[in-house]
Structures are given as C-alpha cells and as structure tokens.
Chains A and B, each alone.
Chain A
C-alpha cells in the first residue's frame, strides 16, 4: 500500500488533548465527519424512539394494562413517530449520503461544506428542541409536556383550544428547524451530484447510489418545503390568532391533512430511495455481477420520484373526498407499484446466476427484498379506497407502514452499516455478531409485524391505549409485544458489534469486499482529502477496470 504514509498524521491526531479533538468535531465541515455525526446522532435517537416503542408495546401486551396512563401513551406514540421519521431515519440516510456521495463520485467534499455543517446542526437543534419539550413545555399545570397530537398532528387537535401549553409549539418548531436543515442538505446533495463528479463520470456512469440520492434530494426539496409552509401556518394560527385550520372561522381541518400528506407521502420515498441505493450497491458486489438493467433502474427511480408527488391523498380515503378524487389517487397509487416492481425484478436478476456470498450485508438485503415486496403488496391492497374504508386507521395500516420502514428501510440500512463500516472505521465487524443480529432482528421483526396485521383485520384501531378482553385481539397483541424484545436484543447486539469492532476489530484494508466503486480505492478510513489525486474513470465500475485491465467494463458500456 503506497498510501500507508497517510496513516501517520492520524496517530498525531490521536495524541492531541480530547478537548481539541472534540473541538475539531464540532467545527468540522468535512463531509465524512459530518456524515458520522449524523449517523451517531441518529443512533442515539434510535435508542430513545425504540424505548418509546417498547413502552407502547408493553402497555398493549394484555387487555386493561396500566403500564402507562392514557396521556403518557399519547405522548409515546407521538414522540415515537416524530423521532423515528425526522430524527432517526432522515439523519441516518443523510449521514450515509454525506459520507458516501463525494467518495463515490470522486470528489474531495460536498459542493457547499459550510452549508453542510449548518444543515447538520439545524437538524440537531431540531431534535434537541423536540425533547426539550419534556422540561420546557409545561406551560400550564396539568397540560402535559411532550407533544401528544400524533405525528401528523391533525387539526383541530393542534389549536390553542385543544392543545394548551406549549407541547405542540415544540413539535412544530422542531420540525420547522430540522426541515430547514433537510432542505439545506438536499440542495447540497443536488449540487454535489451534478457539479462535483470526477472527470469521465457522466450521469450514465454514476453509481446508482448517487442517482437514487439525487432523486431523493429532489423529493426533499419539493416535499419538505410544503411541510415547512404548513408549520408556518400552524404557528400563525397558534401565535398570531390566524384561522388557517380554524373551522369556527371558516378555515378547514382537511386542508392541513392535504398539506401534511403532500409532504408525508413523498417522504416515504425520501426514506426508501436511499434504502434502494444501499441495496443497489450491496447486491451486485455480493452476487459478483454488475447491476442488472442500470438504465431501467435510473428510469424507474425518476418515475417513482414523479409519481410519488401525486399519491398523497391515499392517506385520506376515509375523509370523504368524493368519487373522482378517490379514483385519481387509487390509480396513481397503484401506478407507483410498477416502477417499484421493476426494481425488485432487477435486483433478483442481478442475483440470478451470480456467485452469491451470504455475508451479513447480503443477508439483510435479501430479507429486504422479500419484506419490501410484502410491504408493497399490503400497500397495493390499501390503495383500493373501499379497502381503506374498512381498514383505515387500524393496526393493519400500522403493520403495513412498519413493514415498509422496518422490514424495508431499516433492514437495508443495517446492510449498509455492515457493508460500509469497514470503510468508515477501518476495522472489520464481527461476522458472528452480525449474523446473530440479523437472526434476532429477523425473528423479532416477523413476530411483531406479521402478526400485527391480524388485530388490524379484526378491527383494532391504532392509537388506543388499551382494549377490552375477548375481542380476539389478546393473543395477537401478546405475540406482537414478544417480538419487540427480540428486536431490542438485535439492536443491542448491533450496537455492541459496532463498539467492539471499532476498538478490537481486525484492520479491514481499503477494499475488503473486492468491490467496484471509487470509495474502495482510497484508505479506510479515507484521509481528509479523500483522494490523493482526483480519479478519472471510464465506466460504471472503475475498480473493476483497474483490477482487470485485460477485460475492462468500458469496452462494453
């Protein structure tokens, strides 16, 4: 390794006083450090929101349980949803995008490094603001502290009349502030992907990871902004006496639903496109084949981006929007299953005939494929408006979207953690612990979310803090809660693996997977400047070309 000399400054860094090193982290504008900050921040909130989920499930383990009181239960599901979406999944995906995009496109940093740091700290303060409500929101005695209006905060529950005190203000301000951070990061990703590619990397030669994150960033720009607008309206209503969502003065509660879900549904694709991006990088490497149908994958991604902007009102079939509106959103929602299905077939075709290596990242990606397919199928069921009339707001819906977010996004994310951990830390993770994590989490996931569909079908509504015995819900809820403990054990093994491997793991080397994208051409962890000299590429798999000079990819592309 001729670049071993680069390891020298690192030992000097390590000997500096801890305050100086912390100061380096706080003031950093390096995309890799910000990426890691995003990821650690998200893991902390993952623990918090996971504990909230556990509280919810313990409360529901048997009928007439009184583990927590009804108001606390409301706070738990509100904080769980808000935290998981805005302060776990989005930051962790931004973290991976931040860390990997410049490395994959052969750049030395993001397009706007200081905007990058600004966005991270905005997101951070948003999360802190949300949890500061626990001490700061108790404006009125007995009015409650943490937000308790549900993660989509329907009007008129958020009006001053029904939400006294300041808990809703903390909720709306936290989302407003972190929303500015998200928009900043999205602008940065778009500018980086379009303007910072290394010579030779045309759009058609970018790794799919960069493509999917480009579309994701475009969606953030178009989808988080409406949420920002809606939060400003809510603040005007609450602080200046406005009437946007005030039905007493002619305002409309339904328009809040529209504005929220104009954000809310594209948001699902904001979260899932980076998961697709991970899978599109991991599956080819562990199948030892290039991705099947690159251009179709790009086309399907862009199609998903467009269609996802026109499906939001399928969250509102039970509101009574009229037959024409319902029909439009039924059809558009069904249509989005087509490009998504194309992707699944492409991943399967990539694996077909490949020399599959069942390493931990690949295990998670294979589970992702099947679970995401199942999640998509219940999604198609729910896209049928009359079906939603029966099952809207039931545990069937809860099971469906957790299947997407946990079974799809989180599994892909765990795959990404194991796949890029050697690059980020320079150490190899423990394969044994990785497999243990996979099987614990896999079993826990299926115990919880497979069986959660059934009480939904039997009529159990979401967000109830307890239920009567003898409705046929008892056994199912018991199984669902037992699954949570398996998942929690899996998460603990995962965190233990990360920590243990970071301090005790074997050195990983720059390219442990024999992979093909540019991030594996530099050291692990990469030096601050990423590449000693900016690479020049001729195909989608520059490292393949380098390793096989007799048979390079660019001859065929």
Chain B
C-alpha cells in the first residue's frame, strides 16, 4: 500500500518537475555566464524591432573591404557588445534581448507588466512616451565629445542631430531623451516601364485612375493620413508662394500635421477613393508584389525600398524610387531609456548608454546597415568608414560611362568643408538605391516630421480610418436597411413557426 502511494507521489512529483522545467532552464541559462563575478554584473533588458540589429554569422566572402579596413560580422552584435563592455569598463553585462513587431505592441508590453531598460521605438512613440513621462534623460557624460568611447555624439550626423535638437514636445527636446538609430523617408517605389518618374513624384498617384488596381498603399493610419494630406493639399504645397516663404519648414510641418475636422473628412473621402482605386492596403506584401511585377507602384519606406530594388535587381528587373514633390515623411527609430527599468541604477544606465555608443561605432554601424538595409543616423564624424561604405555600395566602377556626382555633404559634413562628400555614382542611382538610402538634400528639404497626435486627434483620425477600412453603414441606402431588417424578421418568424410545428407533431 505505502509503496503504491510512494509511486503515485513520484508520478505527481514528475509532473510538477516537468511543468517547472521551462522556468528552470530559462533561469539556469540566465544566470549561467556570470557566476564568477556576481557583484559586478549588470543586466540590461533591451527590446528592439525584429531583425533590427546584426546577428552575425556572415560568410567570409561577405566581408566589406574598405580603404580603412575590412568589416565583417562574425558574431552577433550583442555578444560583441558584452565582450567590448568587459574589456573597456571591466564590468560584465548580461543582455536580455527581445523583439517587438509594432510600436503599439511595444507600448502594450510596457503597459502590461514588461519592464525594459532600453527600447527602440519610432519617433512618434518616443514622443508619446516623453509626454507620459516614462523616459529617463540621457546623462551629461553621454554628450561629452572628449570621451572617445562616446561614439554616438562624436559620430552622429550633424543634420540628424539638428533635427533632434530642434524638435521638442511639452518643452522637452528629443535630443535629451533619444539617441537616433535608423532613419528614412517615405516615397513611392515604381516600375519605370509603367510609371514615369514625374507621375510617381506626387502623392496624387495613389488615386490616379490611370493606375487602377496597380498601386499598393500602407495599411496603417499614420502613413495613409500623411499621404492623403499631401495629396489633398498638393496645390498649396507645390505653389511658389508656399515654397519661397521664409517659414517654409514650420509651415510645412503645420500643414502636414493638420487635423482640422474638415481636413479629416477630406482625407476620409480621398482615402475612400484610393481604396476603390488601389490594388490593396498592405503591411508586408507590397515588397513582394513589386518584385514580382504584380503592381506598378508601391507606397514604401525608404529602407524597404532599397531592399525591394535590390531583390528586383537579382532578377534583372529594374525598379526606381521617387519622393513626392509635396512633402515626404521623415521618420526615425531611436534608443530611449525607460524609467521603470533603469530607475536610479547608475550602473545600468551606464551600460545602456554604452550599448547605444557601441552600436554607433563606425564598423558596427556598417554591420547593422548591411544586415538591416536601413540608413543609420551616424555619419561617423572623424571616422570616414561610413562614407566609404556608401561609396563602396553605390560608387561607379572605373570606366563606367554615365556617371554623376552625388553630394551627401548635408548628411556627412558639419558645413565647413564643402565638396568632400561626393560620390561619383552610376547616373541611374540618382533615382534608385542610393537615392533611397541617402536622399538628396533637395528631397530632404521637403521633409516633415509627423507629430504624435493627442488623444482627441487620435480618436478622430482612428474613426476616420475605421470609416475607410470597414464597411461604412451610413453609406447604405435606406431601402437596403429596411430590406435587411425585414429579412431578419421573416427568418425569425419561420424559425419560430417551424419549432412550434415540430412540437405538435
């Protein structure tokens, strides 16, 4: 009897152990590598976009050979960071790295019990987190240019830094809270055989009946809203008077972030037209549809545009990229530190800032850019390798015929030396990968940030989006509604009658 009891107890114990296994294995893994130096180990919880950092494992032949040395990603950036941090500061750091799918997913995770130290959302989510007072400002030491390990402040593009310094929300400057990571603009990827560059250079292409069912547009409210505002205000935005106004940039930003009720209703009307005209609202299929030639044009972010064109090139299928004349949305993803993760822990904050700096070191920037395909906000400062990388990617081969000079001074130089940052590239790169990776100063001059809307504006815009994306019941003619109600009544009546009938039988 007792033996049997023992047996059962053993089985139950087994079940319990099995159930706890995942917890144990994860714990064990987590505490495995820092045993010997427990007191000095820092844990850093980082959350980033999926596939948004170099995970290493490159082949030998993928080595990027630059004048200032080769760059190759053998191990993942996170492993390299751990080693570098220990070598530089003598402190072991453990990185708990995780990923998120959208800004909103990240926001939900933060609200529902997950704590992170360092995250990398887009600019509007950074602004939202700033207004909610959830972010920890970057430390003063982070901005000391004398420390050579401060790769971020020594390497960030002067242009991007000026944007971060000039943008504020609730009186707080972006640059105090966020360190940029990747950036880009929105535009149109198009098939030059079917669409002319001129046609693709206006947001109005989205509703152009000439491309009925041949254009895809982003399936998210912010991108669609921006494009629609650009299209409805096209005449104003391209007028001489508006362009030559001394307050052009402020005006542009105000116009592109206009959420007046009449504008919202116009946007709704416009997007409903777009919905009838376009091939689909997509969130990921747009790239594949472009590459396979299924559609003629696709509203795209510049980083993904580069990828689309690269992939199409492999099939000898030429695509191009255009930035609309009206305005383009410039966007950033940036590192921010969270109060509920870091708190008062100075060691943690130091590790978090070091993580940003390590990812801003020129060779690591190149690794990340190569792996992700987006454009880093880092121009390298005194380190010329990032410019060399751009030249390595897009510079013309010797003896190539149609070559043009492509000036990237606005991004790489701090305005003193002119003409130093010019790539001589094949002429078609002026509207292809190079243009998408590093847009011209002219295209950038028309760029506007998209603000973080407040609650009321968000509500109005979301309602507009629901009206566009879902079937709009108010559009149904009266007789359809009457007919539908009648049909339901009849069906219910028949049901009741049959039930009664079957009772008597």
Is chain B a partner of chain A in the same complex?
Answer: no
